Amino acid sequence: MYAVPENVFGIHHVTAIAGDPQRNIEFYSRVLGLRLVKRTVNFDDPNTYHLYYGDEVGHPGTILTFFPWPNAPHGRLGTGQLTVTSFAIPEDSVQFWIDRLRQAKVEFSGPRDRFDETVLSFSDPEGLQLELVATTKAEGDLTWKSGPVPSQHGIRGFFGVTLSEVSLDGTQDLLLKLGFRKKTHQESRYRFEVGDGGAGKIVDVLHLPNLPRGQIAVGTVHHVAWRTPNDGEQKEWRSRLLDAGLNVTPVIDRQYFHSIYFREPGGILFEIATDPPGFAVDELPAQLGTNLMLPPWLESMRENIEQSLPPIQLP
């Protein structure tokens, strides 16, 4: 019997919708310097890629994933959505990233101060809203050391995420149940943190009662996953969330982690994902992302799946 967990460990991954998979790879690998750690398919829709980016081995807390839907319509940002994904960078790397974004012809705003951090805001080629947040609490080793960005300036996983909501109360109550605590606020922005705070453990909630509801499609976030260390604690979380009246899925095997899903009161899809087994379960660390990997239950369909996927060039 596992002890009831006190809190989630922070952000495990964020999953978004892209359009063209090659454009996605070029931006996140070549411009932002994230490693493509897994090239697989959407297990619920095997004719769609599922691309995972992260640090050298895809540690939880560094993983941004995409379902690329070529020719799909663009979404609309609004309430009931995760509207901004923020990455952590070292405090002295702001000028490096200003120069790099300019060189890559990426439009950005900032730098500007928010709470105790310096923020650069921009979007990817599909309009996904992103930030680089300079912080003293960025962990030093969560980078792609052999990537195109010098390691001393590399992205250190997530800083946090921003949720846009019509009402604050229900979302706040659920975050408190997950172990977050309210830290501070500025105008309509309410900051929550979990554990010892810092990079990967921050959630900002924007209270925007007059903003229309968003629509999830290309250029928007599909869901955010929170970390739990093992299957036992995930089982306890599922029981606790069911007791709280939430509609929680059974545990689903995602090959690289195990997942449960539920919607928070504002409508955003939440997931709680286990840290293990990780991305080296079916590829050597040095070869991560180089092959199309399928779970055992899809291997018999490999030929048809490969023929249905658009060709891509790896970085």
Q: What is the pLDDT of residues 48-65, one digit of tens each?
A: 999 999 999 999 999 999
The number of beta carbons lying within 10 Å of the beta carbon of residue 308 is: 12
**pLDDT score, position 3:** 63
pLDDT surpassing 60 at residue 158 = yes
pLDDT surpassing 80 at residue 157 = yes
DSSP assignment of the chain: -PPPPS---SEEEEEEEES-HHHHHIIIIIIS--EEEEEEEETTEEEEEEEEEESSS--TTSEEEEEE-TTPPB-B--BSEEEEEEEEE-TT-HHHHHHHHHHTT--EEEEEEETTEEEEEEE-TT--EEEEEE-TT--TT-S-TTSSS-GGGS--SEEEEEEEES-SHHHHHHHHHTT-EEEEEETTEEEEE-TT-STTSEEEEEE-TTSPBPB-SBTSEEEEEEEESSHHHHHHHHHHHHHTT---PPPEE-SSSEEEEEE-TTS-EEEEEES-S-GGGSS-GGGTTSSB---GGGGGGHHHHHHHSPP----
**pLDDT score, position 6:** 87
Q: What pTM, to 2 d.p., does this model score?
A: 0.96
Rounded percentage of the chain residues whose pLDDT exceeds 90:
92
Gap between the Cα atoms of 110 and 315, Å rounded? 29
* Check whether domain 11-308 has CATH 3.30.450.20, yes or no: no
**pLDDT score, position 136:** 84
Q: What's the rounded mean pLDDT across residues 200-216?
A: 97
Q: What is the pLDDT of residues 96-138, one digit of tens each?
A: 999 999 999 999 998 999 998 999 999 999 999 999 999 987 7
Q: How far is CA 212 from the centre of its chain?
A: 23
Q: What is the pLDDT of residues 4-29, one digit of tens each?
A: 688 999 999 999 999 999 999 999 99
Whether omega for the bond prior to residue 60 falls within 30 degrees of 0, making it cis, is: no
